[in-house]
Structure 1
Amino acid sequence: MSTASLPAAADPTPGPHHVAIIMDGNGRWAKARGLPRVAGHRRGADAVRRVVRGAGELGIPVLTLFAFSTENWTRPADEVNDLMGLLRHYLRNELEELHKNGARLRVIGNRDGLAADIVRDIDEAQKMTKANARIDVNICINYGARDEILQATRSLARSVAAGELAADGIDEARFEQELLTAGVPDPDLLIRTSGEQRISNFLLWQCAYAELVFVDTLWPDFGKEHLERAIAEFRRRERRYGGVGG
């Protein structure tokens, strides 16, 4: 459902406690303006800054952003290099603001394939912000949900084969310990920008009961007011978790 015409009205219903966002539309934003795709990615980085700040102001405890998927490696090499450059810029130039605003940064994804300096920057950013408690900001880089689930399954299978774990001892809680998001609460609300209505291999296990909100706004134009509208839509919904509504 698009929230393009929804008012950002206040609502007393609690939550969401964890908002996940698929940041989509950078390329289309640039194309519409006759600019190279990297220009859209750069403006998208500005949107990240606005939304992280806005989420903190709105009191959202956890924010997760899908920045680079395992499938994104198939894009043209120049675009991938530009995206990696923007990642370096973000980790090195936005860290002070994140830290100042009480954000704890966590990067979720497979580090294989990432340049050594990016891995080092990730480690330093996580170390600097680990004691912050105002908002948890998770950035998914080189992340794919199917691969995450496969890796978790293989890890559990190895434990069973080694006699360290009984097959009957594998329940949802134990499975979640093997996921890359271990220790992170499941999202209540998943937002995708740009009008596309799919979740694109993002947090498949974790979003089993998330409310989905699709907005027409392209990511570079997304800001706190759009986040507020999505939250307002979330609060109007009745969450049943498979049960019967009132």
Structure 2
Amino acid sequence: MTEPSLLAASVRPGVPAHVALVLDGNRRWAAQRGLSVAEGHRSGIGKIPDVLEWCEEEGVAMVTQWILSIRNLQRGPQELADLYQSFISLCERLAEAQRWRVRVIGALELLPPPVAAAFEDVQRRTEQVEGVQANIAVAYDGRREIVAAARSLAQKYRARGPQESVGDLSWWEGEFASHLGTAGLADPDLVIRTSGEQRLSGYLTWQTTQSELYFCERLWPDFTREDLCEALDSYASRQRRLGL
């Protein structure tokens, strides 16, 4: 099991320690307004710091936002080029803010080198910042993450067996989690997906087994603080049994 966030203790009662978001609806938002896909993505990416600020003010300690899936890499070259430019601008904005500690989750090696470098740079420039842990999932897919973790674990123990009992599955669970991209991070308490789609699409597949889910009809660029608060209120009203 992933270790709980050290920030969780500061969260107000009823407020999730970790909120994960699927940022869905940029292209539909643009189409509804007669705008270009690039304008839709720019508006959506520009919303990310706003949501971090709202979460911080509501007492959320950790926020993970999924901005690009592996499947999204199959989109047209011009759309991807526009997206990548928005990502670079986002990284610079987050680094300059010095307000949130950024961690990037995903296969950066699949991105163009300048884009990967921008994400690596924002991590480096914010690693000492105290405040909300802001995770960015980019070039991310939950199945790929699990397969990569399994391969890493197999490589680790190929030449030697573990010292711990091989029959202790709880030990293996923790060992496996330490090879995921989210190693050391708390699992999400609440997952919010915008645009009305009611599925996770491979988002944090391992980490969301006990997460509460909230589906918002609003397209991502139109997502408001009121929408966030409605999701948080829904979470606070639920009785989490966690399988017990």
Query: Is the TM-score greater than 0.5?
Result: yes
Partner of 1:224: 225
* 1:130 pairs with 2:127: yes
| One-letter amino acid of the structure 2 residue matched with residue 176 of structure 1 | A
Distance 1:68 1:185 in 2: 21
Q: Deviations over 1:161-213 (max 9, x none)?
A: 21153654652111100000001100000000000000011101100000000
Task: State whether residues 159 and 165 of structure 1, in contact with CA within 8 Å, keep that contact through their aligned partners in structure 2.
Answer: no
Map 1:167-246 → 2, pairs under 5 A? 167-168=166-167, 171-243=172-244
Distance 1:149 1:50 in 2: 31
Distance 1:90 1:215 in 2: 24
CA shift, 1:37, in A, is 1.1
Partner of 1:3: none
CA RMSD across the alignment: 1.5
> So what's the TM-score if we normalise by structure 1?
0.89
Change (3 A) 1:84 1:76: same
Count of matched residue pairs: 229
Distance 2:162 2:141 in 1: 26
Task: Say which of 154, 160, 163 aligns to 1:163.
Answer: 160
Q: Deviations over 1:194-245 (max 9, x none)?
A: 00000011101100000000000000011222111100000001111112xx
Gaps (5+ residues) in structure 1?
1-11
Task: State whether residues 64 and 134 of structure 2, in contact with CA within 8 Å, keep that contact through their aligned partners in structure 1.
Answer: yes
Distance 1:46 1:67 in 2: 11
| One-letter amino acid of the structure 1 residue matched with residue 192 of structure 2 | I
Map 1:57-68 → 2, pairs under 5 A? 57-68=57-68
**Aligned partner of residue 14 in structure 2, secondary structure:** coil
> So what's the TM-score if we normalise by structure 2?
0.89
**Aligned partner of residue 68 in structure 2, secondary structure:** strand
**Aligned partner of residue 123 in structure 2, secondary structure:** helix
Gaps (5+ residues) in structure 2?
1-11
Distance 1:132 1:108 in 2: 18
Distance 1:224 1:134 in 2: 19
Partner of 2:71: 71
Distance 1:236 1:59 in 2: 17
| One-letter amino acid of the structure 1 residue matched with residue 126 of structure 2 | T
Distance 2:192 2:56 in 1: 17
CA shift, 1:13, in A, is 4.1
Q: Sequence identity of aligned pairs in percent?
A: 37
Greater relative contact order: 1 or 2 (C-alpha under 8 angstroms, separation 6 or more)?
1
